[in-house]
């Protein structure tokens, strides 16, 4: 079993309940954020010696939800200051970006880290299409084309051009190429049938997050395995990543209380401004189509928001508790889902950094010895 | 712009050819399926005079004595072009036609101005590429979007004869999958060359295009996204755009001229 210390890099001190997205920065002191970046990057680096196999972050825009519009900048710092852990960028939001630039930056990270990049190719969440002025209707076709273009950028030694639906590049030859051959592992979301098809075709690691219940997650993973078989391969546990919010304290009671408070900030402050913008995208575009219409991101979030901490633990949505409880919950995920990688969001909302740091120490001393061999 | 069929009579024998349009001449050399007038060919005839000869033995025509290999056919095409087209022209080849086009560019470098090699045959490395025998697999290898096929199907006997003629002309020494004689002369191709490949094409893998790019002195290559081997059928608009830009601007087609265009 492998674990990713995933950092959303939230702004933890927002003292209002924002009502619109993008969120105003009035009154925000950027020099305070300098300290946050130092703390967050230090936590990620510390994670390497705390039993985590991967360390990673992701991309979000225009709000305190995540201070990381370009996770590749953070990843480059991690690449230079760590030695062993995989650098998991989870990921770049391909439909919003120049795919050739993504290929170049990811290749740089892979080279700088000596071949440790896990390259996340994600579609993003609906409202961010407003921010970069990209039609949400094109999200899937852009993701598909950008993915194939990036793989060509990484694997073709001779210069080439690209004539596509969304992208035209007459002359490409990126320098450097990645260290990992034929290319770094890629990771994509496969929460529904439509996305699973493409993830299987690309032989990517499938990621699944915002689990409402283990049966639904199991069904998605089973579907992914079946589709992958159709493409001539059989996913192993190392090809399946499950994402969870995480809180590990000395006791269950402390962990539950900390998680409840942190999730309150997460939902009421960090997530709140996105809802209306997301609703706009959902109502006026075809961001969700086919099988995922009834199972979209916003509905899953609303379901989780309505549950208390214990209910979320029972449903398999989060991992929370003292060391023994956390070990049991990890074993359960492994047994039920057959996943080989768990992505742990270690700082949820405004969870105190002292709790995150203590959780890392407990993870190294009390959890890893019991779960590493799973 | 509709194509008509004409016949040229040469010392080596008669050859039928499709012709349409007005403007700078383009010689189009067909794939192993024979001539099918594609949307890009129709569009090209709006601005160029397009000559598409029918390889003797294809599409119901008679084979000619002595025209029994890619090399001998390329020499015959040179004679055809000299008699019918003129001293200098652009060339577009498709698959088997690209193979012929490369030999033509080697044999008659004075004639070939711009050269477009679509999904070029004749270079299969490491056991990769080639058409599958299974009909369903063959269809999938040829077309990513079979719903976009516009050319009417050819009668079974014609298709069978096309295949036999192709297999005879394209035969290589036992065990060989690369035309080594041509391979040794790729550096002699002086035409400005564009190599086109389909991202979903298992028949001509990217490695073949990379090899040609490496050895043809002034060459570029482009991937046509979401196209299998029959790239003109799968992505006609993208292929048309590449043809038009490259034939008009040569190496300069890589420059985005923005509003100036």
Sorted by where each begins, the domain ranges of chain A are: 2-371
| Long-range CB contacts for residues A196-199, cutoff 8 Å, separation at least 24 | A196/A220, A196/A223, A196/A224, A196/A227, A197/A227, A198/A143, A198/A144, A198/A147, A199/A224
Q: Which helix (H) or strand (E) holds A372?
A: none
pLDDT bin (cut points 50, 70, 90) of residue B75 is: very high
Structural contact between residues B96 and B118, judged by C-beta atoms closer than 8 angstroms: no
Are the beta carbons of A52 and A85 closer than 8 angstroms?
Answer: yes
- Containing domain of residue B102, as a range? 4-260
Contact A189, A122 (CB under 8 A): yes
What is the spatial distance between Cα A212 and Cα A297, in angstroms, rounded to a whole number?
11
Distances (CA, A) of B44 to B68, B84, B145: 30, 19, 22
What's the confidence (pLDDT) of residue B149?
96
Burial of A24 (0-12, 13-18, 19+ CB in 10 A): exposed
Structure tokens at A119: 């390259």
* Distance in angstroms (rounded) separating the CA atoms of residues B18 and B1: 12
Q: Give, in words, the CATH class of A2-371.
A: alpha beta
pTM for this entry: 0.94
Give B116→chain A minimum CA distance, Å.
Answer: 14
Dihedral, B235, B166, B113, A153 alpha carbons, nearest 10: 40
Structure confidence at residue B260 (pLDDT)? 75
Task: Scan residues 204-243 of B and list those with Cβ closer than 8 Å to A.
Answer: 206, 209-210, 213-214, 220-226, 235, 238-239, 241-242
Query: From CA A344, how far away is CA A1, in angstroms rounded?
Result: 13
Helices (H), chain B: 39-44, 70-84, 96-107, 135-142, 156-169, 180-183, 206-215, 231-234, 236-249
**A28-87 residue pLDDT tens:** 999 999 999 999 999 999 999 999 999 999 999 999 999 999 999 999 999 999 999 999
A160 backbone dihedrals φ, ψ, rounded to 5°: -150, 165
| Reported confidence tier of residue A240, pLDDT bands at 50, 70, 90 | very high
ipTM of the shown complex: 0.95
What separation, in Å, do the N-terminal and C-terminal C-alpha atoms of chain B show? 25
Q: Quick check: A170 and B222 CB within 8 A?
A: yes
Residue with tokens 């040829």: B142
CB contact under 8 A, A160 and B242: no
- Answer yes or no: is pLDDT of A297 > 70: no
First and final C-alpha spacing in chain A:
5
| A206-224 pLDDT per residue, tens | 999 888 899 999 999 999 9
3-state secondary structure of A235: coil
Measured CA angle at A361 (ends A355, A364), to 5 deg? 140
For chain A, give the mean pLDDT: 94
Give me the residues paired with residue B79 across strands.
Answer: none
**CA nearest to A183, candidates A98, A110, A102:** A110
Task: Measure A159 CA to nearest chain B CA, in Å.
Answer: 7
Question: Nearest 5°: phi and psi at A150?
Answer: -65, -40
A186-189 and A205-208 strand pairing: parallel
**CA distances in angstroms from A351 to A260, A305, A346, listed in the order given:** 10, 17, 9
Give residues 54 to 73 of B whose Cβ lies within 8 Å of A.
none
Q: What share of chain B in percent tops pLDDT 90?
A: 94
User: In B, which residues are within 8 Å of A172 by CB distance?
Assistant: none
At A188 the three-state DSSP class reads: strand
CB half-sphere exposure, B237, CA atoms < 13 A? 5
> Percentage of residues in chain A with pLDDT exceeding 90?
84
Q: pLDDT tens across B117-176, in order? A: 999 999 999 888 999 999 999 999 999 999 999 989 999 999 999 999 999 999 999 889
Dist CA A359 CA A346 (whole Å): 8
The residue in chain B having the minimum alpha-carbon distance to the alpha carbon of residue A163 is: B224
Most confident of A6-10, A191-195, B172-176: A6-10
The shortest CB-CB distance from B222 to any of A157, A163, A165 is to A163
- CB–CB of A220/A211 below 8 Å? no
* Mutation target among B145, B199, B236, B261 for the A interface, most CBs of A within 10 A: B199
Name the burial class of residue A152, with classes exposed (0-12), middle (13-18) and buried (19+) by CB atoms within 10 angstroms of its CB.
buried
Of B206, B225, B254, the CB nearest to A164: B225
Nearest to B95 by CA among B22, B225, B204: B204
User: pLDDT by residue (tens digit) across B182-194?
Assistant: 999 999 999 999 9
Q: Is the peptide bond before B40 cis (omega within 30 degrees of 0)?
A: no
Residue contact B206–A148, C-beta within 8 A: no
The mean pLDDT value for A167-182 works out to 98
Cβ contact, residue pair B220, A159, below 8 Å: yes
Cα-based angle A301, A307, A308 (whole degrees, multiple of 5): 130
* Residue A294 predicted with pLDDT over 60: no
State the pLDDT at residue A183.
Answer: 98
At B101 the pLDDT is 98
Q: Cα distance from A346 to chain B (closest Cα, Å)?
A: 40
For residue A291, pLDDT beyond 60:
no
Chain B residues touching residue A164 (CB < 8 angstroms): 224-226, 238
Percent of chain B with pLDDT over 70: 99
Q: Smallest CA–CA separation between A167 and chain B, in Å?
A: 9
Q: Could you tell me if A295 and A279 are in contact, meaning their C-beta atoms sit under 8 angstroms apart?
A: no
| Helix, strand, coil % over all residues of chain B, rounded to 5 | 40, 20, 40
Cβ-based neighbours of A229, under 8 Å, separated by 6 or more = none
- Please answer whether residues A66 and A9 qualify as being in contact, where contact means their C-beta atoms are separated by less than 8 angstroms: yes
Whether B221 sits inside 8 A of A161 (CB atoms) is yes
Positive or negative: CA dihedral A39, A40, A41, A42? positive
| Contact criterion met (CB below 8 Å) for A201 and A231 | yes
C-alpha atoms less than 13 angstroms from C-alpha of B197 in its C-beta half-sphere:
27
pLDDT band at A265, cuts 50/70/90? very high
B chain contacts of residue A157, beta-carbon cutoff 8 Å: 210
What digits encode the pLDDT tens for the residues B197-253? 999 999 999 999 999 999 999 999 999 999 999 999 999 999 999 999 999 999 999
Q: Which of A227, A230, A186, A234 is nearest to A207 (CA)?
A: A186
Q: Which of A38, A45, A57, A119 is nearest to A84 (CA)?
A: A45
A107 Cβ contact partners less than 8 Å away, ≥ 6 residues apart:
A153, A154, A174, A176, A177, A178
* Domains: count for chain B: 1
Query: Is residue A296 very low, low, confident or very high in pLDDT (cuts 50, 70, 90)?
Result: low
CATH code, domain with B77: 3.40.50.1820
The pLDDT, as a whole number, for residue A290 is 65
What pLDDT band is residue B1 in, cutting at 50, 70 and 90?
A: low
Backbone angles phi, psi at B254, to 5 degrees: -75, -15
CA dist., res. A44 & res. A30, Å (int)? 21
- Identify the pLDDT of residue B72: 98
Q: Residue A355: what are its φ and ψ, rounded to 5°?
A: -70, -40
Least CB–CB distance from A163: residue in B214, B224, B256: B224
Give the least confident one: A15-29, A70-84, A94-108, A161-175: A15-29
In chain B, residues with a C-beta closer than 8 Å to the C-beta of A153 are none
Beta bridge pairs of residue B118 = B94, B196
Nearest-CA distance from B63 to chain A in Å?
38
Partner-chain contact A148 B225, CB within 8 Å: yes
Do A138 and A115 form a contact (C-beta atoms < 8 A)?
no
């Amino acid at each position: 079993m492998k674990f990713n210390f995933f950092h959303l890099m939230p702004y933890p001190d927002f003292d209002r309940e924002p009502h619109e997205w993008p969120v105003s920065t009035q009154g925000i002191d950027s020099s305070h954020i300098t300290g946050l970046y130092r703390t967050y990057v230090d936590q990620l680096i510390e994670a390497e010696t705390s039993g985590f196999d991967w360390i990673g972050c992701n991309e979000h825009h225009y709000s305190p939800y995540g201070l990381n519009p370009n996770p590749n900048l953070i990843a480059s710092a991690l690449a230079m200051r760590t030695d062993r852990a995989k650098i998991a960028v989870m990921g770049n939001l391909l439909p919003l970006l120049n795919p050739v630039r993504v290929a170049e930056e990811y290749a740089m990270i892979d080279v700088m880290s000596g071949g440790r990049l896990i390259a996340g190719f994600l579609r993003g969440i609906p409202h961010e299409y407003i921010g970069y002025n990209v039609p949400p209707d094109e999200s899937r076709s852009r993701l598909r084309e950008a993915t194939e273009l990036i793989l060509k950028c990484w694997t073709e030694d001779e210069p080439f051009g690209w004539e596509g639906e969304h992208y035209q590049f007459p002359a490409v030859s990126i320098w450097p190429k990645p260290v990992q051959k034929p290319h770094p592992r890629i990771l994509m979301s496969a929460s529904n049938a439509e996305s699973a098809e493409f993830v299987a075709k690309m032989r990517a690691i499938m990621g699944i997050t915002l689990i409402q219940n283990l049966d639904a997650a199991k069904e998605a993973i089973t579907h992914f395995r079946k589709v992958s078989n159709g493409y001539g391969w059989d996913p192993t546990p190392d090809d399946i990543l499950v994402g969870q919010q995480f809180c590990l304290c000395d006791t269950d009671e402390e962990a539950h209380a900390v998680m409840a408070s942190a999730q309150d900030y997460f939902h009421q402050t960090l997530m709140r401004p996105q809802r209306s913008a997301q609703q706009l995208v959902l109502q006026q575009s075809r961001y969700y189509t086919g099988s995922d219409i009834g199972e979209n991101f916003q509905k899953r979030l609303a379901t989780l928001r309505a549950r208390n901490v214990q209910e979320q633990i029972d449903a398999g949505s989060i991992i929370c508790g003292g060391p023994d409880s956390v070990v049991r919950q990890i074993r359960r995920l492994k047994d039920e889902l057959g996943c080989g990688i768990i992505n742990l969001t270690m700082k949820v909302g405004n969870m105190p950094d002292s709790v995150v740091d203590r959780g890392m120490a407990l993870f190294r001393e009390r959890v890893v010895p019991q779960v590493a061999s799973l | 712009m509709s194509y008509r069929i004409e016949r040229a009579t040469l010392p080596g024998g008669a050859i039928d050819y499709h012709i349409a349009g007005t403007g700078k001449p383009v010689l189009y050399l067909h794939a192993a399926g024979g001539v099918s007038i594609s949307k890009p060919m129709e569009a090209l005839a709006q601005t160029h005079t397009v000559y598409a000869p029918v390889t003797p033995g294809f599409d119901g025509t008679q084979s000619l004595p002595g025209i029994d290999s890619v090399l001998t056919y390329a020499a015959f095409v040179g004679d055809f072009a000299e008699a019918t087209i003129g001293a200098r022209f652009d060339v577009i080849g498709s698959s088997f036609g690209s193979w012929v086009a490369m030999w033509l560019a080697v044999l008659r470098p004075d004639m070939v101005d711009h050269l477009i090699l679509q999904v070029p045959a004749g270079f299969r490395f490491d056991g990769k590429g080639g058409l599958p025998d299974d009909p369903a697999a063959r269809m999938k290898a040829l077309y990513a979007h079979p719903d976009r096929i516009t050319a009417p199907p050819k009668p079974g006997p014609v298709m069978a004869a096309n295949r036999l003629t192709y297999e005879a002309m394209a035969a290589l020494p036992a065990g060989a999958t690369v035309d080594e004689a041509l391979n040794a002369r790729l550096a002699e191709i002086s035409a400005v060359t564009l190599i086109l490949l389909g991202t979903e094409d298992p028949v001509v893998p990217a490695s073949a295009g990379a090899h040609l790019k490496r050895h043809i002195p002034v060459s570029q290559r482009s991937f046509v996204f979401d196209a299998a081997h029959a790239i003109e059928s799968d992505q006609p608009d993208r292929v048309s755009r590449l043809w038009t830009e490259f034939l008009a601007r040569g190496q300069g087609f890589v420059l985005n001229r923005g509003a100036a265009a």
